[in-house]
Chain A
Amino acid sequence: DTAVSQTPKYLVTQMGNDKSIKCEQNLGHDTMYWYKQDSKKFLKIMFSYNNKELIINETVPNRFSPKSPDKAHLNLHINSLELGDSAVYFCASSQGAATQYFGPGTRLTVL
């Protein structure tokens, strides 16, 4: 059974488009996160949700909007995609502030 899953695995789109990435966890965790891994492999926290409440919103452009319909899901919607948004986006989950488990990642390519 997949603990943290993401869809799609690959996403190729044109500049200016709007796209969404979905994340689901079946671990019963109450906290979910989005991380961005750039071309140099640097991993950076974008958002954190605890019980559907936004906890962290690092300096991420307003074009990125997380949505958490319930504790098991955290989606990421991106408006007006730019070339610099190309990266691998990882979802993660944890119980409170404990160990974080990562999803398989979504490779976003903006052309």
Chain B
Amino acid sequence: GENVEQHPSTLSVQEGDSAVIKCTYSDSASNYFPWYKQELGKRPQLIIDIRSNVGEKKDQRIAVTLNKTAKHFSLHITETQPEDSAVYFCAASKMGGGADGLTFGKGTHLIIQP
């Protein structure tokens, strides 16, 4: 089955700096890569996703890049703010036919230092 590795497990950055979280996946058939943000005691919430026919996607301060050949994808957050502090999860699945669950990475605890 699919295996998703996520690094780093903890990331501390100064407010206003950029943060980058990286993930690799093992199943070349995976074609959907969402990123979820989870605040303490809350549900995971989708912040951005990318499909395998796209190499990069951006939404305001958040961007995701995908390298299918290397089987890795990354989350980039620019101009970090205190409210960006949370645990971020990458995930992978196969879209199209059936209802695959998401295989998650182990999460990155992002800490924004004031």
Interfacial residues, chain A to chain B (CB-CB below 8 A): 31, 33, 35, 40-45, 48-50, 55-56, 58, 90, 94, 96-105
Which of A40, A44, A56, A104 contacts B99 (CB under 8 A)? Answer: A56
Q: Is there an interface contact between A97 and B99, defined as CB atoms closer than 8 Å?
A: yes
Residues of B within 8 A of A43 (CB): 44, 89, 102, 104, 107
Shortest Cβ distance from B91 into A: residue: A43
B91 to chain A: closest CB distance in Å? Answer: 8
Count A/B pairs, Cβ under 8 Å.
65
Q: How many chain B residues touch the partner (CB < 8 A)?
A: 26
Shortest Cβ distance from B43 into A: residue: A102
Which of A41, A97, A101, A105 contacts B93 (CB under 8 A)? Answer: A97
Shortest Cβ distance from A45 into B: residue: B101
A66 to chain B: closest CB distance in Å? Answer: 12
Q: Is there an interface contact between B43 and A41, defined as CB atoms closer than 8 Å?
A: no
Residues of B within 8 A of A44 (CB): 104
A89 to chain B: closest CB distance in Å? Answer: 11
Residues of A within 8 A of B103 (CB): 45
Bound-complex Cα distance A90 to B44 (A): 9
